[in-house]
Structure 1
Amino acid sequence: MDITIYHNPRCSNSRNTLAAIREAGHEPRIVDYLATPPTREELMSMLAASGLRARDAIRSKESLYAELGLDAEGVSDEALIDAMLAHPALLNRPFVVTPKGVRLCRPPETVHDIL
């Protein structure tokens, strides 16, 4: 099965999701999204396929979130997407893409829905 995980090895949810994929017998393509962030088209596609809005996929606990004023009311999805592309640390993780769908795997067990 063709599986891609947008991974941050420092994140326990990301590590646990990767382990679950491997325990299910798959070896995914691992994208260190901090070093190689998704393109705008890839991010838009992942959001659409997962049924999430940009605000659902952004890491609001990152200090940069408030520093950039992204916590203000009325910030558009387009502005949030721009921020995630410019600052990949703002993208929540891990996103997993398979032929069965796309999920933001928080909690990690969510990955089983698309394996």
Structure 2
Amino acid sequence: MITIYHNPRCRKSREGLALLEESGEKFEIVKYLEEPINEKELNTIISKLGIKPIDLIRTNESIWKSEYKGKKLTDQQTIKAMVKYPKLIERPIVVNNNKAVIGRPKELILDII
């Protein structure tokens, strides 16, 4: 099953959702600002993405700048920051079984569906 971690207020996330809808594939939507992602799930997603947790952070968000910028965080501390402040998570994230991509640009989604 394909899952998109989606923020409806984000243009890039809406574009990724539209691409999935056009694909005809079945998928589920997780509005992660309303249904927060827990640490275990976030660890799994990051593993499937094949990136470091810091690479999933939206470093231009004001909460990152005010709370974390310039601090040395471990991977787990970075994950805890995303769990506490889901707005920090880059979007959209699309997961299909053991593969995942950040849909920026949206065409990357095509690589896993």
Report the TM-score when normalising by structure 1: 0.92
Matched with 1:95 is 93
> 1:28 and 1:75 mapped to 2: Cα distance?
34
Residue ranges of structure 2 left out of the alignment (5+ in a row): none
Deviation (angstroms), 1:91: 0.8
Q: Which runs of 5+ in 1 are unaligned?
A: none
State the match for 1:85 in structure 2: 83
User: Any conservation in 2 of the 1:4–1:28 contact (CA below 8 Å)?
Assistant: yes
Query: Does residue 109 of structure 1 match 2:107?
Result: yes
User: How far off its partner does 1:100 sit?
Assistant: 5.6
What amino acid is aligned across from residue 98 of structure 1 in structure 2?
A: N
Q: Is the 8 A contact 2:48 2:98 kept in 1?
A: no
Q: Which amino acid aligns with 1:96?
A: V
Sequence identity (%): 38
Query: Which residue in the other structure is 1:37 paired with?
Result: 36
State how many pairs are aligned: 113
Bigger mean CA offset, 24-33 vs 80-89: 24-33
- Cα deviation per residue 1:2-28 (whole Å; 9 max; x = unaligned)? 111000011111111111111111242
State how far apart, in whole Å, the 1-side matches of 2:85 and 2:98 are. Answer: 29
CA-atom RMSD in angstroms = 1.2
